[in-house]
Structure 1
Amino acid sequence: MALTWVSEHNGHMLSQSAMSSAPPTHPLLARLQHYVQFADDERASLEALAAGPVITVRQRRDLAREGDKARGVNLILDGWAFRYKTLEDGRRQIIAFLLPGDLCDVHGYIHRELDHSTGAVTPVRYVEIPRERIEALVALGPRVAQALWWDASVSASIQREWTVNLGQRDALERLSHLLCELVHRLRAVGLADDNRCDIPLTQTDLAEATGMTPVHVNRMVQELRARGLIRWKGRAFEALDLDRLCNVAMFNPAYLHLDREGRHLDAT
């Protein structure tokens, strides 16, 4: 079933609370540690990014809209969001899913205005990190600086893989590849229990991310179920045979760069 997307201009439907607090160890740190291990002072600086104030956005509202003035960098603490582009006739393409621990374009603040919009799939809690704090982090030393570069590089790598998905994979491969990617990314921030996780996406979300119609997405989900590859009820998703699902998708997780490529910079 198609969703009605309600879009509010940046900030009008947001509530900001100085009383909100985030866990001392947030998913950004969990994810960055897949690239490199930090010293205690670096960990403390990264954890401080989640100190707030925390902004809460309701489900199916916008965090930011194309054309808004670029300010800081948004760090997702809880919930799912996505980047999207909309054509003049209202057609929309989802170009990335943003999970807890994701920075919404770590270098985006250098532009005059945003060239895409960011919307909330679920209720989202995030913090807006000022440019000065990002620059101060980079100044801490090569470990943090390169970890942030890896983060930006992986975002670009995911975008390249999505381009291949849309241009070369068939419908079943396309959906399977996206599901494999989401399982691996959720694992990286501790949000997947083995091959089980919450995936709160509708058929319309999946259609707009994979270039299919919602009806065709439904057919592909049923095909994966019939093959015994997935179980999916409501938000609860399980890859019953992740290896076979990866084979269907021709999925290689190397583009996610989660195997400690920066180990030579590890703090001792």
Structure 2
Amino acid sequence: MAAAALIRKLEQYDRISDAERQVLEQAVVRQRAVAKGEDLVREGDRPSESLLLITGFAARHNILRNGKRQITALHVPGDFVDLHSFLIKTMDHGVMAITPCTLGVVPHETLRAITETQPHLTRLLALHIAVDAAIHRQWLVSIGRQSAREHAAQLLCELFLRLQAVGLTEGSGFKLPLTQAELGDTLGLSTVHVNRILQGLRKEGLITWQGETVVIEDWPRLQETAEFDPTFLCLKSEPR
């Protein structure tokens, strides 16, 4: 089921009927596999379809003239990496595969039909875009006003809950296949600074991180360190 993670994510917002599940599954017309490091969407593209992340991790990013990269969003299974391209048309950023990824292709014509015939699903997909924007606001606050330690803790709390919502956590652990360089591009820090921050979180007993597996050892203290409030993720189900 190509849309299984998306359906599970949307069910965090509100109940989805069997008919709506079928609409979402049928919206994915084909699947596409991409390699780590491959562009899913490039800045300046005018997509005629939106891409649903089925497996893997992807990153939204902008690259400056000097070659430096800022990652502005991390995408996990169940996320549309460019649902907003249905409305905005010309992409002002790129999206790349952080790991090997499987994508579901949803034509914009299909999305247009959903907006015309499925008002409840339309509201849920609009909320998907709104949560993306809320995450951006939180990242802006974190990068502008939190310490590097607080910002890193905020990111780990956010990713844990987003992955938990789509069934991709095991207890208090989750896979996070990002290099320290990619974390640096996400947090706006040097690789050396990222390493120092992670070592500090480990020494404080807040997390362990071995290979690609992060385990949150003390959720209350990590949440307190980050001043983390999950309200912006809209994980409480309410009628839409």
TM superposition score normalised by structure 2:
0.96
For residue 203 of structure 1, the aligned residue among 162, 180, 187 is 180
Distance 2:226 2:88 in 1: 35
Q: Sort the Cα spacing of 1:206 and 1:238 in 2 relative to 1 into closer, same or farther, 3 A.
A: same
Consecutive unaligned residues of structure 2, counting only runs of 5 or more, are none
Q: What are the Cα deviations for residues 92-145 of structure 1, in whole angstroms up to 9, with x where unaligned?
A: 000000110101232313334211000001001102211111122223333211
Distance 1:119 1:89 in 2: 19
Distance 2:120 2:14 in 1: 7
Distance 1:27 1:112 in 2: 25
Distance 2:128 2:234 in 1: 9
Distance 1:59 1:112 in 2: 25
Q: Runs (4+) of structure 1 moved beyond 3 Å?
A: none
- Counterpart of 1:138 in structure 2 is 115
Q: What are the Cα deviations for residues 210-239 of structure 1, in whole angstroms up to 9, with x where unaligned?
A: 111110010010000001110110101100
Cα offset, 1:25, TM superposition: 5.4
Distance 1:30 1:49 in 2: 16
Residue identity opposite 1:202 in structure 2 = T
Residue identity opposite 1:36 in structure 2 = D
For residue 225 of structure 2, the aligned residue among 235, 243, 248 is 248
On the 8 A contact 2:53/2:101 being kept in 1, the answer is yes
Query: After superposition, where does 1:120-199 map in structure 2 within 5 Å?
Result: 120-199=97-176
Query: After superposition, where does 1:251-262 map in structure 2 within 5 Å?
Result: 251-262=228-239
Per mean C-alpha deviation after superposition, the further-off stretch among 61-70 and 238-247 is: 61-70
Does 1:65 pair with 2:42? yes
- Counterpart of 2:60 in structure 1 is 83
Distance 1:214 1:118 in 2: 21
On the 8 A contact 2:3/2:78 being kept in 1, the answer is no
Consecutive unaligned residues of structure 1, counting only runs of 5 or more, are 1-22
Q: What are the Cα deviations for residues 234-256 of structure 1, in whole angstroms up to 9, with x where unaligned?
A: 10110011111010000000000
On the 8 A contact 1:187/1:194 being kept in 2, the answer is no
Distance 2:91 2:173 in 1: 35
Query: After superposition, where does 1:2-17 map in structure 2 within 5 Å?
Result: none
Distance 1:242 1:139 in 2: 43
Greater share of helix: 2
SS in 1 for 2:117: coil
Distance 1:140 1:195 in 2: 40
Matched-pair identity in %:
37
Residue identity opposite 2:142 in structure 1 = N
Does 1:105 pair with 2:82? yes
- Counterpart of 2:22 in structure 1 is 44
Distance 2:18 2:114 in 1: 14
Q: Report the number of matched residues.
A: 240
SS in 2 for 1:103: coil
Cα offset, 1:33, TM superposition: 0.5
Residue identity opposite 1:160 in structure 2 = R
